[in-house]
Amino acid sequence: MRRSGHPTGAGLKDYRSYSFWLETCGDDLTPRPPLPSDLDVDVAIVGAGYTGLWTAYYLARSDPKLRIAVLEKEIAGFGASGRNGGWCSALFAASKEKVAARHGREAAVALQRELFNTVDEIGKVTAEEGMDVHYDKGGTLAFATSPAHVERLREEIQDERRWGFGEEDHRWLGPEEAAGRIAVRESRGAAFTPHCAALHPARLVRGLARAVERRGVKLFEDTAAVDLGPGGVRTLHGRVKAEIVVRATEGYTPTLPGFERAVIPVYSLMIATEPLPESFWSEVGWSRRETLTDGRHLIIYAQRTADGRIAFGGRGAPYHFGSRIEDRFDREPWVFAELRRSLVGLFPQATSARITHAWGGPLGIARDWYSSVGLDRRRGLAWAGGYVGDGVGTSNLAGRTLADLILGEDTVITRLPWVGHRSRAWEPEPLRWLGVNVALRTMSSADRAEARTGRPARRADLIRRLTLGG
């Protein structure tokens, strides 16, 4: 089994080893040259994941004359954008209740509708730009494999109805209909939404890097920003002077001076099977490449890859004291074993399938679990992030919004209720470490209790509200 993060002998990192996706993206991962010397631009973007690159893309598309530089510490797609589950969903980290409590019901619904559009926007732009990202809009199936799951998932659909979303957006599939899509063991039905596409995450981020370069954006890899502030960015290779600086560093943000408590890096881990035989797929179905999850508290997520594997991920890895990020945290053998157990639990036919890849990476969580995008025009500082595990879609909306904000355009999307939102800082250590890890453990114990008793374990909802804000 390949595991992530092994440097090569020459002292260079083997970037392909950071995820199944980076290994199979078909792009040359040799870092582009670093910033050669001091530079003067209009917009400097720190971080070449989806957020940074979508922002560069929409800016360059709207105003080809703008001088834009993207500065990346490693290579484009090194972060979560090159490692994720490839769910291009319309999910938003904060609940509609939370958004509506601050901005009203209409604003919460408008944000949701724009996220629905965003799934299509990504399909459209990648097709226009000739990026083969294995985009397939098959929707999401959330399976119920216990009575507690049925109760929770059906409640969620009822809740969507109260927000005005109909059968075309969310509906319940009975056991037979659900099995007709994907044959999951002990399925009692599934909640279905069409608003999600499966894609190859690294093909998307690497394709975006090439698309922005074609539009004249300068992308410097192997260029770590050591400080960013009004007027520019200081790197190890020189200074970049810019009217606007965009912080697009998501889970890595706490490594920047002044942003230590802005978000926390929480690890999500994944495994991938070998390509599964036709006999498996004819038994299981899964012909529309729907993204798949179930009703448990500690999230799992899966997709059928274009080359016929199952890529399967989940949370549960511990948060590391002081928001530390290290390559070795991408590998938690017990989490990989747990993921394999869950996968085989849903698909016993995969019991003997080889797990060929295992990897992970940090995502970013704001203290109130409220993703945000904004521009402080006076200081010339912009940001976007705190997407938790929903950044594939949300980062595209962030990129479009930042482009409009930077260009001074007042549009429908610059009025959405996450624009300009400020989350409070996370607690200092050791409170942060204690709170987050207790929350993670409680959700996992609630899942075990529900599997045993079949009844909903409310402790998970309570602890999530208290510590993780969800």
Q: Are 224 and 28 in contact (CB under 8 A)?
A: no
Q: Coil, helix or strand for 188?
A: coil
Stretch that binds ligand FAD, among 150-158, 279-287, 389-397, 443-451 (CB under 6 A): 389-397
How far is it, in rounded angstroms, from Cα 292 to Cα 301? 6
Q: Which one, 187 or 293, has the nearer CB to ligand FAD?
A: 293
Q: Which one, 81 or 146, has the nearer CB to ligand FAD?
A: 81
Residue 461: count other Cβ atoms within 10 Å of its Cβ.
15
Return phi, psi of residue 219, to 5°.
Answer: -115, 115
Q: With both helix axes pointing from N to C terminus, report the angle between 105-128 and 201-214 in degrees, rounded to the nearest 10.
A: 70
For the chain, what is the radius of gyration of the CA atoms? 21
Q: Using the rule CB under 6 A, is 248 a contact of ligand FAD?
A: yes
Stretch that binds ligand FAD, among 119-127, 149-157, 162-170, 244-252 (CB under 6 A): 244-252
List the one residue from 23, 27, 294, 390 that touches ligand FAD (CB under 6 A).
390
Q: Coil, helix or strand for 219?
A: strand
List the one residue from 5, 31, 52, 435 that touches ligand FAD (CB under 6 A).
52
Q: Using the rule CB under 6 A, is 440 a contact of ligand FAD?
A: no
Longest alpha-carbon distance in the chain: 63
Q: Which one, 366 or 457, has the nearer CB to ligand FAD?
A: 366
CB of 455 to ligand FAD, least distance (A): 29
H helices present in 46-200, as ranges = 50-62, 96-103, 105-128, 147-162, 175-181
List the one residue from 139, 295, 316, 393 that touches ligand FAD (CB under 6 A).
393
How far is it, in rounded angstroms, from Cα 229 to Cα 381? 7
Residues 65 to 84: which contact ligand FAD by CB under 6 A?
71-74, 78-81, 83-84
Number of residues lying near ligand FAD (CB under 6 A): 45
Q: Which one, 206 or 450, has the nearer CB to ligand FAD?
A: 206
Residue 356 buriedness (CB in 10 A; 0-12 / 13-18 / 19+): middle
List the one residue from 252, 286, 336, 369 that touches ligand FAD (CB under 6 A).
252
Q: Which one, 250 or 450, has the nearer CB to ligand FAD?
A: 250
How far is it, in rounded angstroms, from Cα 315 to Cα 309? 20
Q: Using the rule CB under 6 A, is 89 a contact of ligand FAD?
A: yes
Residues 351 to 380: which contact ligand FAD by CB under 6 A?
360-361, 363
* 18 token code pair: 């950071």
Q: Using the rule CB under 6 A, is 417 a contact of ligand FAD?
A: no
Cα dist from 358 to 1, 83, 247, 332, 341, whole Å: 7, 10, 29, 9, 14
Q: Which one, 93 or 108, has the nearer CB to ligand FAD?
A: 93
Q: Using the rule CB under 6 A, is 392 a contact of ligand FAD?
A: yes
Stretch that binds ligand FAD, among 155-163, 339-347, 388-396, 441-449 (CB under 6 A): 388-396
Residue, CB closest to ligand FAD: 391
Cα dist from 177 to 11, 82, 145, 182, 202, whole Å: 53, 34, 15, 9, 33
Q: Using the rule CB under 6 A, is 316 a contact of ligand FAD?
A: no
Q: Using the rule CB under 6 A, is 312 a contact of ligand FAD?
A: no
**x/- site string to ligand FAD, residues 212 to 241, per CB under 6 A?**
------------xx----------------
CB of 365 to ligand FAD, least distance (A): 10
Q: Are 204 and 133 in contact (CB under 8 A)?
A: yes
Q: Coil, helix or strand for 14?
A: coil
Chain contacts with ligand FAD (rule: CB under 6 A): 46-52, 71-74, 78-81, 83-87, 89, 224-225, 248-252, 255-256, 268, 270, 301, 313, 360-361, 363, 385, 387, 389-393, 395
